[in-house]
């Protein structure tokens, strides 16, 4: 029999891509690598960790299976809900973040969204 919490979980996709994140209010971006992604959140590894309850901002690419240089850039905000300090497969702590908000952008090779995707939209004149 399946536990109720298992049936509510979003399907996870084993996508391994570079990720950048920063603690909310911190200007410094840190590097990580996704382990899996779902519609509810992301699980990733990084040399630096964050405590449960910490608010974070992240950017990563969801690649398209159709073309090598295509996909979506995901800019998201969330909260750390789990931290595994025991070294993972790559000897790094693992962090689970539950999404609170996200934005999707067309992927442009060589460019990551460096501006605040959650700020007010700029009006072109």
Q: What is the pLDDT of residues 16-38, one digit of tens each?
A: 999 999 998 888 999 999 999 99
Question: What pTM does this model have?
Answer: 0.77
What pLDDT, on a 0 to 100 scale, did the predictor assign at position 36?
Answer: 94
Q: What is the pLDDT of residues 32-88, one digit of tens each?
A: 999 999 999 999 999 988 999 999 999 998 887 766 667 888 999 999 999 998 765
Q: With the C-alpha atoms ordered 111, 70, 40, 87, is the resulting torsion angle positive or negative?
A: negative
Q: Pick 11-106's CATH classification: 3.30.830.10, 2.60.120.460, 2.40.10.220, 3.60.15.10.
A: 2.40.10.220
Residue 33 CA from chain centroid, whole number: 9
- Do the Cβ atoms of 45 and 90 come closer than 8 Å? yes
The pLDDT of 106-117, averaged and rounded, is: 64
Q: With the C-alpha atoms ordered 7, 13, 14, 18, is the resulting torsion angle positive or negative?
A: negative
């Amino acid at each position: 029999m399946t536990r109720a919490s298992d049936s509510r979980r979003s399907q996870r996709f084993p996508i391994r891509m570079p990720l950048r994140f920063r603690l909310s209010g911190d200007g410094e971006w840190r590097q990580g690598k996704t382990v899996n992604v779902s519609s509810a959140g992301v699980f990733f590894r990084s040399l630096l960790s964050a405590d449960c309850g910490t608010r974070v901002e992240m950017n990563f690419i969801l690649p398209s299976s159709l073309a090598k240089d295509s996909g979506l850039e995901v800019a998201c905000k969330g909260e750390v809900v789990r931290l595994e300090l025991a070294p993972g497969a790559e000897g790094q702590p693992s962090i689970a973040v539950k999404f609170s908000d996200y934005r999707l952008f067309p992927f442009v090779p060589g460019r990551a969204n460096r501006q605040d995707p959650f700020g007010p939209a700029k009006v072109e004149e």
